[in-house]
Chain A
C-alpha cells in the first residue's frame, strides 16, 4: 500500500496526523501533504498545536497567531498563539458576565480572578487544546492536517481530552444530583416548570465539543495517523514504544513512513567515508523495519540534499512522498 493509495482509498479520512519522535520531519510531512492535497483541489487546513511551531519557518511566512492564512489557493496554515487565545477567552468570559447581568463593569473580585486565571499552570496548553477543538468543530475544510508536537507532548494532548472528559463527567454528576433536589422542592411547592440549569447545559456543551474532537482523533474512519521513523536503532525502538502508548488512547494507526532514506543511486557515486558507513547502517535497519512493521510501511522518503523550507522544496518533498501529481 502506498501513501497515495491510502488517500484515494479512504477519502473519508479527512483528519491527518503525523506522529513520531522529534526532528524526524513531521512538520515537513504535514506541510508537504497539505500542499499535495491543495494541489489536488481539496481545501486544506494545516495547523500547528506546538508552541514551538515551525510552519512559519517552513512556509517562510509569519502566520503565528494570525488565524488560518492562505499560503497557496486552497492551502491554509495556522499557528495557534496560546497567549492570544487565553486573552480572548478571558474577554469572552468577561463579556458573558456583562451580558448576563447587564453590568457596566466586572466586579473587582471577579475581574481579579479572571486575570489570575492566566497564571494557571496548564492554561496555555489547554488554550491550544481548546482552539483545536474549535477548529475541528467549526468545520469548513476538506482536510485537516495536525502538525503534532513531539511524541510525549502529543500523548499529553490526547490525555488532556480524557482528563477533561472525566472531569466534566464528575461535575456533571454533581449537577444532576443537585437537580434531583430541585425537583423535590418543585414537587413540594407544586411548581410545574423547573428552571433549566444553565451550568448543566454549559457542561453538556463543553462535553459535546470535546467528545466530538476527541472522537475524531480515535475514529479510524475519519482519521489517518502516520508514524514517521528513520532507519536508526534508537528511533525504531522509541517508535515501537510510542506506538504502544498511542494504542492506549485508541488512536488508529494507518501506517509508517520512513524518512531520510539515503538514495541508493548515491552508492555508486563517490561518497565520503561517513556516508558509506551510514549506508551500511541504513541497510541493516531498513531490514529490521521491514521485519518489524512489514506491510504497514507506506512510503520511504529520501533524504533531501537540503532542508525543506519554502514552497519549491515542499513541492519536491510532496512529490517524493506521493509521486508526481
Chain B
C-alpha cells in the first residue's frame, strides 16, 4: 500500500483514553525529539501533559534549552506542557534504606547479635538498583496521576524493553520471594512453641510490592491506555533492531502503537543533475522504505522528513508536531 493508513493523529482519536506513551528505537533515530513533539501536541490539545525522561543520560534539557532536571518544568511556553528529567539518587537511597530496615528487622527476629551494620550495606549493593529506581520513579508518576497525559522518553530499546519488562521481571521475582517467605513462615510456625501469630513486615513489604507491580503491569499492558511507538530511520540497522524488538514487546504484552519513520529525504528536492551522493542515499532510503512498508505495513503511523537543521527548541518542535500529527 506504501502509505500511512492510520496516522498518528487518527490513532490518537481512535484511542481517546490513551494516557501513557513511549518512544523507543535504536540510538540516534530521534526518540527524544518525537517524545517532545508528542508531549507538545498533547498539551496543545488542552491536556495537562508530562514528558518524563527515564534515560540514564538525560537530554531533555538540551532539547528545550531549559534546565528540567529534578522537577517538572513548563516548557515551550505551553502551560500544559511539563518536562522532567528524573533524578534517581533519592529513590535509590530510599529503597536502600528500606531494605536495610527490613534486614535489621529480620536480624532482630532471628536473634543474630553479631554486629551487622557494616555488612548490611552489602545487601543493598546490586547494579539493578539504578534501573529499578528508574522504574519505581516511572510508576510512581503514573500512580500519582497528576497529569492527563504522560510521554516517556526512554533509553534505547534494549533498556526500554527492560524498563517496561521490569514489571514482569519483578513480578517473577516477587512471586519467588513470596513463595520463599510463605515457606519460611510455615517453617517458623513449625519451629515455634508458642504458635503465636506474628506480624511479618517482610511479607507486607512483598505483598505491597507485588500489588504495585501488578498494577503497573495492568496499566502498561492495557492497550487502551498505553502505547509504545518505535522510531526508525530508513536504514537497515534501525529497522533490524526494531523488527526484533517489536516481537519481544508482543511477548511481554506491551501494546505496540506503531512505527514512526524519521529522516526521509524529501524526494521533491531531487533533480536529474543532483549529486551522485544524494542520488545514492535517496535510492538506499527507497529500498529501505520498501522494506518498512513490507514489514510494518499498516502499523506505520507517520513518515517525517529530514529537516535541514537539527531539531531543538520550541520552533523546531512545533514544526515536528505538524509533521508527526499530520491530519
A and B in contact, CB less than 8 Å? yes
Binding site for B on A (CB under 8 A): 21-24, 27, 50-52, 54, 57-58, 116, 119-122, 124-126, 129, 149-153, 155-156, 159-160, 163-164, 166-167, 170-171, 173-174, 232-234, 237-238, 241-242, 245, 263, 266, 269-278, 281, 305-307, 309
Are B127 and A122 touching (Cβ within 8 A)? yes
Q: Who on chain B is nearest to A268 by CB?
A: B275
Q: How far is the CB of B262 from chain A (nearest CB, A)?
A: 11
Asked whether B280 is an interface residue with its Cβ less than 8 Å from the other chain, the reply is: yes
Known: A270-B271, A271-B274, A272-B269. A150 touches B155 (CB 8 A): yes
Output the residue of A57, A121, A241, A242 with the most chain B CB within 10 A: A121
Q: How many angstroms between the C-alpha atoms of A276 and B278 in the bound complex? A: 12
Pull 7 A–B residue pairs with CB atoms less than 8 Å apart, ordered by A.
A21-B57, A119-B173, A121-B128, A150-B155, A234-B59, A271-B278, A272-B278
A171: chain B residues at CB < 8 Å are 119, 122
A274/B275 in contact, CB under 8 A? no
> Are the C-beta atoms of A122 and B131 separated by less than 8 Å?
yes
- Which 3 residue pairs spanning A and B have beta carbons closest together? A22-B27, A23-B28, A152-B56
Among B100-108, B156-164, B204-212, B218-226, the stretch that binds chain A is B156-164
A272 to B307, CA, bound (A): 12
Inter-subunit contact A306/B244 (CB<8 Å): no
Residues of B contacting A116 in the complex (Cβ-Cβ under 8 angstroms): 176
Could you tell me if A305 and B280 are in contact, using CB atoms closer than 8 angstroms?
yes
Q: Determine if B27 and A156 form an interchain contact, defined as CB atoms under 8 angstroms apart.
A: no
Asked whether any CB of chain A lies closer than 8 Å to the CB of B312, the reply is yes
B254-273, CB under 8 A of A: which get 1 and which 0? Answer: 00000000000110011101
The interface bits of chain B over 272-300 (1 if a CB of A lies within 8 angstroms of the residue's CB, else 0) are 01111110110110000000000000000
Q: State whether B130 touches A156 (Cβ < 8 A).
A: yes
Q: How large is the interface on B (under 10, 10 to 19, 20 to 34, 35 or more residues)?
A: 35 or more
Q: Is the CB of B57 within 8 A of A149?
A: no
Residue B310 lies at the interface, judged by CB distance under 8 Å to chain A: yes
Q: How far is the CA of A155 from the CA of B130 in the complex (A)?
A: 11
Point out the residue from B63, B128, B158 that lies within 8 Å of A234, measured CB to CB.
B63
**List of A residues within 8 angstroms of B266 by Cβ:** 272, 274
Q: Are B28 and A152 in contact (CB under 8 A)?
A: no
The interface residues of chain A lying within 8 Å CB-to-CB of B113 are none
Given A121-B169, A305-B280, residue A170 in contact with residue B57 (CB < 8 A)? no
A266→B277 contact, CB < 8 A: yes
Chain A residues with CB below 8 A from B122, complex form: 166-167, 170-171, 174
B26 contacts A by Cβ under 8 Å: yes
Further pairs besides A153-B155, A170-B122, A272-B266: 16, Cβ < 8 Å:
A22-B27, A23-B27, A23-B29, A24-B28, A52-B241, A52-B245, A54-B26, A120-B173, A122-B127, A163-B126, A234-B312, A266-B278, A269-B276, A271-B278, A277-B308, A278-B308
